[in-house]
Structure 1
Amino acid sequence: MSLRDAIDNFYERLVVDAIEATREESDTADYLTDVMCVALNRLPTRYYRHSIDMMFYLADEELKGMKQKSLAAVKEAREFVREHQRE
């Protein structure tokens, strides 16, 4: 196992959840991938090694705030990607 595979960014999971919550029928895989990239670039990173540790040590209010930030970032990213699509 490489060091790269040993850690993850917790916001990736939250952004995927926010994308799924706001998914529209017309969304393409390319569009959603761009939305994910833009949203993640607008959020801080929160690395963890084991997901159980992250869930155990993360306070409920902090998790709620992270979810809200993720949803807001996804909504902003959707608008940004729509406005900057190549034709």
Structure 2
Amino acid sequence: MHASFESIHNIHETAVIEAVQALRSEYPAVEAELLPDVACVALNRLPPRYIRHSVDLAFYQAEREREELAALQAQTVRQAFEFVQARRAMRARC
């Protein structure tokens, strides 16, 4: 019998991608082709948490934990934008 692992994902992926898209206009110096880099920087700074089904997370996570996680994700995405923006500026000066 064959096991499928396609349903496993990091809980931060969707939220980080949505935050990158939502905050994009606040960082006009970060070109569109760098947005995946911003997402990767943010995801690498967040503690990994994997689930199989999003409904499992909604069921087992308390409202306060959801709010804290959303705030952490938003803060981390802003830091990632700042990091990528600073690296781009540094490269432009060289």
Class of the TM-score when normalised by the shorter of the 2 chains: 0.7 to 0.9
The alpha-carbon deviation at position 58 of structure 1 amounts to: 1.0
The alpha-carbon deviation at position 30 of structure 1 amounts to: 1.8
Matching of residues 43-62 of structure 1 within 5 Å? 43-62=46-65
1:65 aligns with 2:84: no
SS of 1:44's partner is coil
Identity of aligned residues (%): 43
TM-score, normalization: structure 1? 0.85
The alpha-carbon deviation at position 35 of structure 1 amounts to: 0.4
Q: How many residues align?
A: 86
Write the deviation string for residues 2-50 of structure 1: whole angstroms up to 9, x where unpaired: 42x1300011111122212212184533211010000001100111001
Unaligned runs of 5+ in 1: none
TM-score, normalization: structure 2? 0.80
Compute the RMSD of aligned alpha carbons. Answer: 1.8
Unaligned runs of 5+ in 2: none
